Amino acid sequence: MNPQLLFWIPATLRLSFILIASGICWYFFGPIIGLSIGLICLIALIVIQLKYLYLLSAWLDHPDSEKLPDGWGAWTDIFSRLYRLRRDDERNRTELTEWLARFRQAMSLLPDGVVIMDDVLFLEWCNPAAERHLGLNNSRDKGMRVTNLIRSPDFIDYIILGRYEQPLTLSLKDRKLIVHIIPFENRRQILVTHDATENDRIEMMRRDFIANASHELRTPLTVINGFLEIAQTQPDLDQTIRMSHLKLMIEQGQRMQNLVEDMLTLTRLESIDYPVRPEHVNIHNLLDQIKQEADALSGGRHEISLMIDGPDIEGSTDELRSAFSNLVSNAVRYTPAGGRIDIKWKNTEAGPQFSVKDSGIGIRAEHIARLTERFYRVDKSRSRETQGTGLGLAIVKHVLLRHGAVLAIESQPEAGSTFIVRFDKNSTDGDMVRALEN
Ligand code: ADP
CA of 416 to the centre of ligand 1 (A): 12
CA of 328 to the centre of ligand 1 (A): 11
pLDDT bracket for residue 276 (50, 70, 90): confident
Q: How far apart are CA 195 and CA 175, in angstroms?
A: 7
Chain-wide mean pLDDT for the chain? 88
| Lowest mean pLDDT, pick from 245-249, 269-273, 349-353, 407-411 | 269-273
Q: Which of 334, 380, 396 to mutate to test the pocket of ligand 1 (most atoms within 8 A of CB)?
A: 334
pLDDT bracket for residue 272 (50, 70, 90): low
CA of 27 to the centre of ligand 1 (A): 124
Q: How far apart are CA 403 and CA 316, in angstroms?
A: 8
pLDDT tens digits, one per residue of 59-97: 888 877 767 777 777 788 888 888 888 889 989 999 999
For residue 438, the model assigns a pLDDT of 29
**Beta carbons within 10 angstroms of residue 239's beta carbon:** 7
Choose the CATH number for 110-195 among 3.40.50.720, 3.40.50.2020, 3.30.450.20, 3.30.43.10: 3.30.450.20
CA of 98 to the centre of ligand 1 (A): 57
Q: Which residue has the higher pLDDT, 384 or 221?
A: 221
Parts of the chain belonging to CATH 3.30.565.10: 279-428
For residue 367, the model assigns a pLDDT of 94
Which CATH fold topology does 279-428 show?
A: Heat Shock Protein 90 (3.30.565)
| Lowest mean pLDDT, pick from 76-85, 148-157, 302-311, 428-437 | 428-437
Q: Report the largest interatomic distance among the alpha carbons of the chain, rounded to a whole angstrom.
A: 157
Dihedral, 331, 336, 337, 339 alpha carbons, nearest 10: -60
**CB under 6 Å to ligand 1: residues?**
326, 330-331, 334, 358, 360-361, 363, 371, 376-379, 383, 388-394, 417
Q: Which of ligand 1's atoms lies nearest the C-alpha of 358?
A: 23
pLDDT bracket for residue 1 (50, 70, 90): low
The residue whose C-alpha atom lies closest to atom 7 belonging to ligand 1 is 392
Contact 196, 176 (CB under 8 A): yes
pLDDT tens digits, one per residue of 129-141: 999 999 999 999 9
- pTM for this prediction: 0.63
Mean per-residue pLDDT for 195-204? 89
Q: Which of 297, 393, 407 to mutate to test the pocket of ligand 1 (most atoms within 8 A of CB)?
A: 393
pLDDT bracket for residue 430 (50, 70, 90): very low
pLDDT bracket for residue 425 (50, 70, 90): low
Residue 413 confidence (pLDDT) above 80: yes
Q: Is the dihedral of CA 88, 91, 97, 103 positive or negative?
A: negative
CA of 275 to the centre of ligand 1 (A): 27
End-to-end CA, the chain = 79
Helix, coil or strand: residue 168: strand
| Lowest mean pLDDT, pick from 44-58, 96-110, 191-205, 260-274 | 260-274
State which H helix or E strand residue 55 sits in: helix 31-61
Mean per-residue pLDDT for 158-183? 90
Residue 428 confidence (pLDDT) above 60: no
The CATH class for the domain spanning 205-270 reads mainly alpha
pLDDT tens digits, one per residue of 383-409: 777 778 899 999 999 999 989 899 999
> What are the E-state strand segments in 53-201?
113-117, 123-126, 168-172, 175-184, 188-195
For residue 61, the model assigns a pLDDT of 84
Q: Which residue has the higher pLDDT, 9 or 100?
A: 100
Mean per-residue pLDDT for 256-268? 90
For residue 332, the model assigns a pLDDT of 96
Distances (CA, A) of 252 to 238, 370, 389, 427: 21, 26, 12, 41
Q: Which of 261, 328, 383, 410 to mutate to test the pocket of ligand 1 (most atoms within 8 A of CB)?
A: 383
Q: Which of ligand 1's atoms lies nearest the C-alpha of 376?
A: 10
Query: Percent of the chain, pLDDT > 90?
Result: 55
Parts of the chain belonging to CATH 1.10.287.130: 205-270
H-assigned helices in 378-428: 380-385, 392-402
Q: How far apart are CA 274 and CA 268, in angstroms?
A: 7
Parts of the chain belonging to CATH 3.30.450.20: 110-195
